[in-house]
A and B are shown apart, each in its own frame.
Chain A
Amino acid sequence: MRYVKELSNKNKIVSDSTCEALYEQQNEAYTIKFVFNGEETCEINKRKFNIYPDTFAVVNAGSNFSSKIDSINPVNTFAVSFGESFISDFHHSFSYSEENLLDGKEAIKMPDFMESLYPFAGDMRFNVLHLKNQLDKGLKDEMLINEYLYHCLLNYYKIYDKEVVQKLDKLSFIKTKTRQEVLKRLTLAKEYISSNYNQNITLEQIAEQACLSVNHLLRTFKEAYEISPYQFLMQLRLNRAKKLLQTTSYSLNEIVGLVGFECPSSFIRLFKHTFNITPLKYKKSRLN
């Protein structure tokens, strides 16, 4: 079921459930995109990545954006866009101290977010799921919808701080510009891994996508994220396999193939090592 909710302050929510969709245009407003099941292939300013249920994507106003859904099962997507005054008010009050705000010191700049994939977890997940459930039930109260959207931004700013600001600090380059550039490239590496997690990808391919040498990628990735690209890939595969065990009736062998493992025994060993439970026992425990 598709619905579009546009509020009087120009905040907008679009929820859709579809097997096929193709969308291309300049993004008018700051948008956060979620996928609750399946995947959506996106392209932002010529960068291509997939949004899965454990990630969300942020698109700045004015960016060229396209998305594609091509799936046997309906993919449930949810996008929230923020009106210009709503986001500038939020950004202003979040970015400046109370003292500056009281002095009326003006430095209102619209935010420029790092357009990428971010982990969809914690409070962001709780709040967005509440909002979606309420809208699915027909919520009309704009005050409540705006409260959810305010918290959505609040949660995103925290995630941005953790995923971007704190990662920049971890990189050992002296020049800020170098750190920013390296983080951008590492983000490309993460997007590539996340979008191709079920393929047989190599370190060379990841490095090429990130425009970094293999050695540089290994060193800086570990510096920023405290794990290697390979460990990041394994974590993704295991977590997504866990989700499939929870939410689908696929057999273990099917899941092993779907998340990109070649051999069931190494999957079972890694799964048990990571979660202290075998995949089948985990599935049974979730059924109970």
Chain B
Amino acid sequence: MNQSAKSFYVQVKQLNDAERYYANCLGMPTEATMISAKEKGLVVKIDQDTHLFLSEEKHQNQTRKIVLTSDDCLEDYCRLKARGVVFKNAPAYLSEGLSVEFSDPYGNDFTILEQRNYNED
């Protein structure tokens, strides 16, 4: 998954469970953080420039749909599948490229999208 600086704020039921899921199942490094002065959170580092900020509280800037850009969708699909991630569908071709979808245990929907420029020389 690659570089396009993005931060997503995502609600999860329990930070401890979420840490296990994101670190062990998805294989993404996590780090404890503070969402506000009183609220604990978790940063998931998807790549150098893409971070998820997980918190148990509901906030206005949170989203349930997260699009992760990928250099190679099939590689990411197979890597995550081997780690036990259950995908909603097989990788499918869209007008903008190849994509595949899965959800985390808290109902947040993830799309892995490999953007392809079909007009490129």
Residues of A participating in the B interface, judged by any CB pair closer than 8 Å: 121-123, 126-127, 130, 134, 141, 143-144, 147-148, 151, 242-243, 246, 286
Contact at B118–A144, with CB atoms within 8 Å? no
Q: Which of B8-16, B28-36, B52-60, B71-79 contacts A (4 or more CB under 8 A)?
A: B71-79
Contact at B78–A151, with CB atoms within 8 Å? no
- Which residues from A are CB-within-8-Å of B79? 144
- Which residues from B are CB-within-8-Å of A134? 72, 75
Residues of B participating in the A interface, judged by any CB pair closer than 8 Å: 72, 74-75, 77-79, 81-82, 91, 93, 98, 114, 116, 118, 121
- Which residues from B are CB-within-8-Å of A286? 121
How far, in whole Å, are A144 and B74 apart by their CA atoms in the complex?
7
Contacting A151 at CB < 8 Å: which of B74, B82, B118, B121?
Answer: B74
- Which residues from A are CB-within-8-Å of B78? 141, 143-144, 147
In the assembled complex, the CB of B86 is this many whole angstroms from the nearest CB of chain A, namely 16
How far, in whole Å, are A242 and B81 apart by their CA atoms in the complex?
40
For the A-B complex with A126-B98, A243-B121 known, give 6 more contacts whose Cβ atoms are closer than 8 Å: A123-B93, A126-B114, A141-B78, A144-B75, A147-B91, A246-B121
The closest CB in chain B to the CB of A146 belongs to B78
Contacting B72 at CB < 8 Å: which of A121, A130, A143?
Answer: A130
5 A-B pairs with the lowest CB-CB distances in the bound complex, closest first: A144-B78, A130-B72, A147-B74, A147-B78, A126-B116
- Which residues from B are CB-within-8-Å of A147? 74, 77-78, 91
The closest CB in chain A to the CB of B73 belongs to A130
Contact at B98–A123, with CB atoms within 8 Å? yes
Contact at B74–A148, with CB atoms within 8 Å? yes
